[in-house]
Amino acid sequence: MEKKIGFAFLYILLFPTVLLLLSGDSTWPEGWIFSVWFILLCFSTILHLNGKDPALLAERYKQPGSGNQEGWDRYVVYGLVVGFILWIVIMPLDAKRFGWSPVFPLWLKVAGGAGLAGSFFLFFRSFADNTFLSPLVRIQGERKQRVVSTGVYGFVRHPMYLGAILMFIGTPLLLGSFFGILAGLVLTTLLMARIQGEEGMLARELEGYREYMRKVCYRLIPFLW
C-alpha cells in the first residue's frame, strides 16, 4: 500500500505541473491557486483514508473492469479520465498561453474560487462519511455494503458528484477559460448520465436504497434535480 500511496502522490503532482507548464507562465496566480487547492485536497484525502479508513483507500485503487463493476460503467470511467485530461490541458492554453477567451471579470474569478471551496468540503466529507465510496459502479458485497444516509448524504444523494461539478465549473471560472467551462459542462453531463445508471443498479440490488431515495429527494441540487 505504501508504494501505491507514493505513486499516487507523484500522479497527483503531474496535473498541476502540466497546467503550469502549458500556461507558459510559472508565476500565474490563478494557476497556483488551483494547483495548491488540488494538491491539498488529494493529499489530505489520501492521508485521512490511510489513517482512518484503509479499506476505502484500497477500494479507491480498484481498476476499471475489476470486481463486479457494471459493464457500461467501464466506458464512463474511461470517458471521465480522458475528459479530465483534456480539461486540464485546454484551460491553460486558453486562459494564459493563447488567450482565446476574453479576460474574465474579478467577480467571476471569485465565484470560481468559492466553487472550489465548496468542492473541497463536499469531496472531503463524502469520503469521510461514506466508507463505500467506490470509483466503480458496483455492489461491494465482500464489504457488506449498506446505504449511507448521514452527513452530506442527508443533503443530496450524490455529494461527491456535486463536488466534482463545482470543480469542473469553478476551476475554469477562476482561471478565466471559456473552453474550460465547455469541457466542464461535458464532464458534468457524463456524471449526470452515470448517476442515472448507478441509481438504477442501487435501487435494484442494494437493500434500503429505494427508501433512501424517498427520504433524500434530490440527486445533486436541492429543489432542482
CATH number at residue 21: 1.20.120.1630
Is the sign of the CA dihedral 115, 87, 103, 25 positive or negative?
positive
* 86 falls within a domain: yes
Please determine, for residue 6, whether its predicted confidence score (pLDDT) is greater than 90.
no
Please determine, for residue 3, whether its predicted confidence score (pLDDT) is greater than 90.
no
* 224 falls within a domain: no
Please determine, for residue 1, whether its predicted confidence score (pLDDT) is greater than 70.
no
* 23 falls within a domain: yes
Please state the rounded mean pLDDT for residues 145-160.
Answer: 96
Q: Which residue would you say has higher pLDDT here, 116 or 221? A: 116
End-to-end CA distance of the chain: 38
Other beta carbons less than 10 A from residue 50's beta carbon: 14
pLDDT reported for residue 2: 63
pLDDT reported for residue 65: 85
Q: Of 135, 138, 182, 129, whose CA–CA distance to 156 is shortest?
A: 129
Number of compact structural domains in the chain: 1
pLDDT reported for residue 138: 95
User: All 3 cell numbers of residue 179?
Assistant: 473552453
Please determine, for residue 4, whether its predicted confidence score (pLDDT) is greater than 80.
no
pLDDT digits (tens, 9 = 90+) for 153-201: 999 999 999 999 999 999 999 999 999 999 999 999 999 999 999 999 9
Cβ atoms of residues 95 and 177 within 8 Å:
yes
The number of helices, as runs of H, and strands, as runs of E, in the chain is: 8, 0
Please determine, for residue 39, whether its predicted confidence score (pLDDT) is greater than 80.
yes
Residue 127 C-beta-side C-alpha neighbours within 13 Å: 28
Please state the rounded mean pLDDT for residues 7-16.
Answer: 85
Q: H or E stretch including 69?
A: none
Counting beta carbons within 10 angstroms of the beta carbon of residue 190, is it exposed (0 to 12), middle (13 to 18) or buried (19 or more)? middle
Q: Of 11, 190, 171, whose CA–CA distance to 91 is shortest?
A: 171
Range of the structural domain that residue 170 is part of: 2-215
d(CA 126, CA 129): 5
pLDDT reported for residue 223: 85
pLDDT digits (tens, 9 = 90+) for 64-119: 888 789 999 999 999 999 999 999 999 999 999 999 999 999 999 999 999 999 99
